[in-house]
Structure 1
Amino acid sequence: MVRLADGLRVVDADSHMTERHDLFTERAPKGYEDRVPHVVNIDGMDMWVIEGKTFGKAGSGGTIDHDGKKHPFRESQGGSWGIRDVHPAAWDPAERLRLMDELGIHTQVLYPNAIGIGGQNLRKNVSDSTLLLLCVQLYNDALAEVQEGSGNRLLPMPIMPAWDIEACVREAERCATLGYRGVNMTADPQDSGSPDLGDRAWDPFWEVCAGLKLPVHFHIGASQTSLTYFGTTYWPSQDDYVKPAIGGASLFQNNSRVLLNSAYSGMFDRHPDLKMVSVESGIGWVPFMLEAMDYELEENAPAHAKKLQKLPSEYFRDNWYATFWFETGRGHLQHLVDQVGEDNIMFETDFPHPTSLHPDPIGMVSEKISTLRPETQRKVMGENAAKLYRI
């Protein structure tokens, strides 16, 4: 039997919580009940509606059934499943904690589903800035209650009003008072009409996040720009069950863009305590990208390279984390971890999504994790996350 390091406390740095149908309406101010996101059955299908128009199926947000069996995406989350078909731990915090105890997971970080992993579906479908901000705050208030009710074992990442930098500053400050341990940011705020992340206009936001110890999280698929990878990178000749695999693998490439923009922009010279997390992107691409960042900048913009206080790759070491779950390092996981940095890696399960490690996440990774040094095991499986999230 494979034995993991003693004293291992597992922190899952990426999972998802399907939005309950009444999440917004039960908190909506009088007069807004029919304007905020709510669920309407249309032709036998539950649909999310906002401002009188639909913005997606009120689906399962997962592929795990009530018996804990995982189903193909096309037959579940990407098919006809509604919230009643998915395992209740996908949307019920009490059931999530019960399942975590069963699986040996101490803490989970949570991201949304229907509203867009970075909250981008709200901006895409609403033009009223007052209503938009209200929806963001209602979601963040609801998930703050989930965190408090779990005794800080469930750590949701609040969404930010990316279309308004000043509003992001205020919302980050507000979320800190609610006990949040980070923020969830879209990778492409320019989709919402704001400058891109490398623009100095974002400096007030970075200053607040660094000062309040709120790491900024970039989950794959957290913008309209990045989601074009999922919807357009497959080829018509491919089987319908293969297309989600192509889209899912293509999404991993997107977060390298955020890393490049942040490192080249100089934001970490101005905000050295700012932390960022690349979520559900894996780590195998990181060593090559670190080399490429240094090489390409020196080759193409040596004058700009001299303006930076560090090599671009060094900003990853000092300011970034990445999450992983299924990678083996082709049998050399310790070598891969050492290249990325054992202090910069966190473990995730991606429950209840198609690529999740369900039904036995710890068992599924035990053999490969056991090849790591004991101190490395403890760091990547929990200690790094515990430090980052003040657990």
Structure 2
Amino acid sequence: MEEVDGQKMWVFDGHPMGRFSAGGVVGRDGAKASADLALHHWDHEEIHRGAWDPKVRLQVMDESGIDAQVVFPSTIGLGGQGFNAASDRDLARRTIELYNDRQAQIQEESGNRLLPLPLMPAWDVGACVAEARRVGALGARGINMTSDPQDLGAPDLADRAWDPFWEACTELRLPVHFHIGASVTSMTFYGKYSWPSHPADTRLALGGTLLFIGNARVVANVIVSGMFDRHPDLKIVSVESGCGWVPFILEALDYEMTENAPGDLAKLKKPPSEYFRSNLYATYWFESNRNRLPALIEAVGEDSIMFETDFPHPTCLYPNPLAAVEEKMAGLSERARTKILGENARALYRL
């Protein structure tokens, strides 16, 4: 931590990476504050300890009725792009390894209740393969990947150069996670979504809304890349992006590929929309009322949705995540509720 222009900042390889905080809105007293105050003024000592202390996080989970939780970074980039963007590649690689070692330790100490996903050295395909195999041996249950490695000088993820990485992740049963905002490219768009004259909190709300849809770009790209034909058991998770947009995007993708790229469509083994149920997962935490939710779940697939709490981010369901969705989920079958609230995750993460 260093002071930059009078503010406490995280600094890596000489580059300021964000406030000395943990990117949340839940305070030490357990109350949620305005996003503008928390994200722009709080430091590490003002945010809830559960945002960064594994022991306190487990207490929060116990209080909330959560058995296990997949955990993502914040200040270093939701896809770890802050480490990846360092100019000293050896330093970046070693830092990622140290970070991943610590995540493996947290997972073991929590009895596999906390699953902090390891990061990848995304500027180098071979290094990603090696690191995936290394963290797999440490017990990782998935990996967290930037959605735009081309930002870092590597091929984009549709390039066949990544096939050894997809093969390793499939072999090791490591689902690949793409969090919203998980690249330099996506966060550049994030800053331009809202019109500048809106108030700060409204700009955050607009940015958050459209950042969800930003993951539609990731989903559409991976589907038409052909990677699932070459690696039919590969699993991809779209994180913190909701699922309400999924049916429309799949329908639109089928139509657009039929109309505009029939030759490329013919190279795929099945219609684009059919890959979601076999290879992709979405996350659910706030969408739709009781009457509309069953149709949404039917369209996306009850086997392809997992529940999230988003603690301690501005849109989190804290302090009562299960109570917050109880009425909305009442219209679902018991089987669908059980899958979404836990069994899908239990199977995917081998818990």
Residue from 67, 72, 91 that aligns with 1:106: 67
Confirm or deny that 1:298 pairs with 2:258: yes
Q: Structure 1, unaligned stretches of length 5 or more?
A: 1-38
1:55 to 17, 31, 37: 17
Query: In 2, are the aligned partners of 1:334 and 1:372 still within 8 Å (CA)?
Result: yes
Could you tell me how far 1:236 is from its partner in structure 2?
A: 1.9
| 8 Å Cα contact 1:350/1:357 also seen in 2 | yes
**1:146 aligns to what?**
106
Aligned residue for 1:66? 28
CA contact under 8 A between 1:157 and 1:180: conserved in structure 2? yes
Amino acid at match of 1:371: G
Higher relative contact order (CA 8 A, sep 6+): 1
CA deviations over 1:138-164 (Å, ceiling 9, x no partner): 111111111010000000111111100
Aligned mates of 2:211, 2:165 — CA distance in 1 = 26
Mapped partners of 1:49, 1:228: distance in 2: 20
Q: 1:263 aligns with which of 220, 223, 228?
A: 223
1:286-323 Cα distance to aligned partner (Å, 9 max, x none): 00111111111111121221211111111111000000
Q: Which moved more, 1:221-230 or 1:339-348?
A: 221-230
Match of 1:326 in 2: 286
How far did 1:60 drift?
Answer: 3.3
Asked if 1:360 corresponds to 2:311, the answer is no
1:105-136: CA deviations, max 9, x gaps?
A: 00000000111110111233x21111110111
Aligned to 1:40: 2
Q: What do residues 85-115 of structure 1 show as CA deviations (whole Å, max 9, x unaligned)?
A: 0111111110011111111000000000111
Deviation at 1:51, TM superposition (A): 2.8
AA of the residue aligned to 2:64: L
**Which residue in 2 is equivalent to 1:240?**
200
Residues 43, 234 of structure 1: alpha-carbon distance in 2 compared, 3 angstrom cutoff: closer
**In the alignment, residue 88 of structure 1 is paired with which amino acid?**
R
- Root-mean-square deviation over aligned CA pairs: 1.2
Distance in 2, Cα, partners of 1:155 & 1:53: 28
TM-score (norm 1): 0.88
Aligned counterparts, 1:304-323, within 5 A? 304-323=264-283
Residue 225 of structure 1: which of 158, 176, 185 is its match? 185
Work out the number of aligned pairs and report it.
Answer: 351
Look up the match of 1:32. none
Residue in structure 2 matched with residue 88 of structure 1 by the alignment: 49
- Structure 1 CA distance for aligned equivalents of residues 53 and 202 of structure 2: 31
Q: Runs in 1 of length 4+ with deviation above 6 angstroms?
A: none
Q: Any gaps of 5 or more consecutive residues in structure 2?
A: none
1:42 Cα shift? 4.5
* Deviation of the 1:41 alpha carbon: 3.6
One-letter code of the match for 1:278? S
Aligned amino acid, residue 10 of structure 2: W
Higher helix share: 2
AA matched with 1:239: P
Asked if the contact 1:284/1:329 (under 8 Å) is kept, the reply is no
Kindly indicate whether the alpha-carbon contact (under 8 Å) linking 2:290 and 2:329 is maintained by their aligned counterparts in 1: no
The aligned residue for residue 89 of structure 2 is 129
